[in-house]
Copies of this chain bind each other. A is one copy, B any other.
């Protein structure tokens, strides 16, 4: 009965509020006062639960990083044929990002501005060290590429360029949404429509780029 009075879920409220504020303002731009207000609690309570801004920021970053990549990496590691994987990754990622539009920009900012985040990111990819996971994915994709190339179904491409191209096409539009929206002059509805079209067209575009 240690945290008896926390059925109200203050801790969860705080974390949710922190997610919102950190993702919009970045770690340095976020204010503890704003988080407290957003959570509807007193600022002192943030420190009671999370001790410091840095720790709270760590918690938020970790959960964000875990949301962004592991599902994709697991899909890429599965036994499905390559074209199916592409199809699934596009759907999975675009769906996730439509629900969490600020995630990519936030993760990119953090990773660029706070070097220590890189190691945290690596650990967040899975329980294990990235040293095993990243390369394992790339090896698996590489094998499948080799098969497809041997069968005459695909031009040769390195596994890392394959993966980089795929996630670039999925994630960048969300990270750069303000730019793109300005350039193409679309409002929120137009944006949603554009993303929906993208879900359908992207797999064909991506796989077409690899035809022999």
Contact = CB atoms under 8 A, between A and B. Distances in A.
Interface of A: 24-29, 69, 102, 105-109, 111-113, 117-118, 121-122, 125, 130-131, 134-135, 137-138, 155, 157-158, 160-161, 163-165, 167-169, 171-173, 175-176, 178-180, 182-186, 194, 197-198, 201, 204-211
B208 A155 contact: yes
7 contacts: A111-B178, A122-B182, A134-B184, A155-B208, A168-B168, A208-B208, A209-B209
Chain copies in the assembled complex = 2
B118 A109 contact: no
A209 B210 CA distance: 7
Contact of A206 (B29, B137, B180, B209): B209
Q: Across chains A and B, which 5 residue pairs bring their CB atoms closest together, nearest first?
A: A209-B209, A105-B112, A28-B29, A168-B172, A172-B172
Mostly helix, strand, loop or mixed at chain A's interface? helix
A142 to B, nearest CB: 12
Contacts of A158: 197
Contacts of A26: 26, 28-29, 109, 113
B121 A178 contact: yes
Given A109-B108, A168-B172, A169-B168, A134 B185 contact: yes
A205 B157 contact: yes
Given A26-B109, A208-B211, A175 B178 contact: no
Contacts of A117: 178
A113 B109 contact: yes
Contacts of A178: 111-112, 117-118, 121
A135 B157 CA distance: 34
A204 B109 CA distance: 31
